């Protein structure tokens, strides 16, 4: 199996994102190895040795994706027995020409603490944790978005991802079995209707998830799951609440679709 290294003098997040995006285009498997904070010549030499050992052991040159700004360290990594992909080198020169400004590379700049966006993200995470699963319904005036849906439709992970990645204060509220007889918007959600975004899920997938959590119960029964999905989707349509089926989507895809539809401001960089 071919090995792909993601190497950086910072978090290596950028190398991973670009590298994984490229490799996902190819229908083969890779061994992935991330090496972050290669900030000294000594660490660079050790990283080179690690890459070279893999090349010798497998008989194939590893793929190395990196984003080094330090020239000396970059040269060491580039001299490895590997196929090198330097993302910054590919794009900086053309961009300098377009902008008419020379780049000023600085380690950790991409994923370091930027005062405003970082504070937004921390505040948003705290808010989402405090307003998870309907635990605090009196604080919704501060929400940027309120996710609603049946239990296990993806509300909590999506709320936390919105908060951690984008600084968005996302509360979430579950529709439970007790709500289903005459399902309608609770009175405390009505004033915040414009903030609501619904999540739904295919009934069979919901059955599978709930069975893994609480097998042989009304909660996981096929009848209950189908009824809950049917009723919440009927509510979304009646109240004109935008909604999304999460069955085949990752949390990253769910989040991106919510952001695209709502136009919420992101606080990432």
Structural domains in the chain, CATH included, are 2-99 (3.40.50), 115-262 (3.40.50)
What whole-number distance in Å separates Cα of residue 174 and Cα of residue 219? 14
Percentage of residues in the chain with pLDDT exceeding 90?
79
Query: Could you report the per-residue pLDDT of 139-184, keeping only the tens digit for each?
Result: 999 999 999 999 999 999 999 999 998 999 999 999 999 899 889 9
pLDDT at residue 42, as a whole number = 97
| Among 8, 26, 3, 6, CA closest to 18 | 6
What whole-number distance in Å separates Cα of residue 225 and Cα of residue 234? 14
Percentage of residues in the chain with pLDDT exceeding 70?
95
pLDDT at residue 41, as a whole number = 96
pLDDT at residue 84, as a whole number = 96
Q: Is the pLDDT confidence value at 105 over 70?
A: no
pTM score of the predicted model: 0.74
Question: Are the C-beta atoms of 135 and 160 separated by less than 8 Å?
Answer: no
In the DSSP assignment, the letter for residue 101 is S
- Bridge partners of 198, per DSSP, are 148, 243
Q: Where are the alpha helices (DSSP H) in the chain?
A: 13-23, 41-58, 71-78, 87-99, 115-130, 155-166, 203-213, 222-239, 251-262
Confidence of residue 114 (pLDDT cuts 50, 70, 90): low
Confidence of residue 95 (pLDDT cuts 50, 70, 90): confident
pLDDT at residue 244, as a whole number = 97
């Amino acid at each position: 199996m071919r090995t792909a290294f993601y190497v950086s003098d910072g978090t290596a997040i950028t190398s991973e994102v670009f590298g994984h995006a490229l490799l996902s285009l190819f229908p083969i498997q890779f061994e992935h190895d991330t090496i972050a904070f290669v900030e000294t010549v000594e660490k660079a030499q050790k990283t080179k040795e690690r890459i070279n050992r893999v090349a010798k052991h497998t008989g194939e040159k590893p793929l190395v994706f990196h984003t080094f700004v330090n020239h000396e360290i970059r040269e060491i990594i580039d001299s490895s027995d590997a196929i090198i992909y330097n993302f910054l080198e590919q794009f900086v020169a053309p961009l300098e020409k377009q902008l008419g400004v020379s780049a000023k590379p600085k380690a950790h700049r991409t994923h370091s603490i930027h005062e405003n966006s970082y504070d937004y993200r921390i505040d948003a995470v705290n808010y989402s944790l405090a307003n998870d699963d309907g635990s605090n319904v009196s604080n919704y005036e501060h929400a940027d978005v309120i996710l609603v849906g049946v239990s296990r439709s993806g509300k909590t992970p999506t709320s936390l991802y919105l908060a951690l990645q984008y600084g968005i204060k996302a509360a979430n509220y579950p529709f439970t079995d007790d709500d289903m007889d005459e399902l309608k918007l609770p009175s405390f959600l009505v004033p915040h209707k414009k903030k609501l975004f619904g999540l739904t899920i295919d009934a069979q997938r919901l059955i599978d998830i709930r069975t893994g959590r609480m097998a042989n119960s009304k909660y996981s029964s096929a009848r209950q799951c189908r009824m809950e999905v049917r009723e919440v989707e009927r509510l979304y349509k009646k109240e004109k609440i935008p909604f999304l089926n999460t069955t085949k989507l990752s949390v990253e895809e769910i989040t991106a679709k919510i952001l695209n539809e709502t136009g919420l401001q992101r606080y990432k960089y």
